[in-house]
Amino acid sequence: MSLWAAQVWLGMAITVIGIGMHRTGPAFRRHPFGIPVALLGLAVMLFRVEKPPHPESEVVAATMDAAMWLLPALAGSALVLMGAPLYWRTRLLPLLVGWALIVVAWYQYYSVMSVALSDALRGVSTLLGVTLALAVFALCVRTAERMTPQEPETEPLSEKEKKYVESVLRRHLEVSDEP
């Protein structure tokens, strides 16, 4: 294995490690390092002096092709999630920009990947089927929530219960990540 092939695989491994670190969630101290480590891995994988050998060069080319539509798709998805209604309050600008980025990502995907018409029709029919299934699921959840009687508001925690919850949270959140 050449040095440049090893660099591609090392970069991919660092990217996966960074994604894993980011997925640990904000409760862990290593969470903020996830995105920078993943970006470092991508930089190690994509920026090189020489062209890597055959299998690795295809991996790099596929990564570059995927990045052209994956980056707007991820950014759009994040914006849609930020703009989605939360407690009946919608943030319209992030929602609209997010959907626009998702449309751009789909356009780039179909232009870069050169998908055949039959594949596109199969994809659209699958998307319609998934949308119909999600609509039926949402309708079922809405019906179940309407049929379930509303429960009364619970009483606040007593001082003893508050101290117990605080002690449990303190024990679990103050544990260091080091062995």
40-75 pLDDT per residue, tens:
888 888 787 777 778 878 877 888 888 888 889 989
Residue 173: inside a domain: no
Range of the domain at 47: 1-52
Same domain, 106 and 144: no
Residues 108 and 142 in one domain: no
Q: Would 106 be classed as within a structural domain?
A: yes
Looking at the structure, do residues 41 and 79 belong to the same domain, yes or no? no
Report which secondary-structure segment, H or E, holds 30.
none
- CA distance from start to end of the chain: 35
pLDDT digits (tens, 9 = 90+) for 66-103: 888 888 998 999 999 888 888 778 888 999 999 999 99
Confidence (pLDDT) at 135: 93
**Structurally, how many domains does the chain consist of?**
3
Instruction: Answer whether residue 136 is part of any domain.
Output: yes
Question: Are 82 and 39 members of one domain?
Answer: no
pLDDT 10s digits, 141-166: 888 888 878 778 888 889 999 999 99
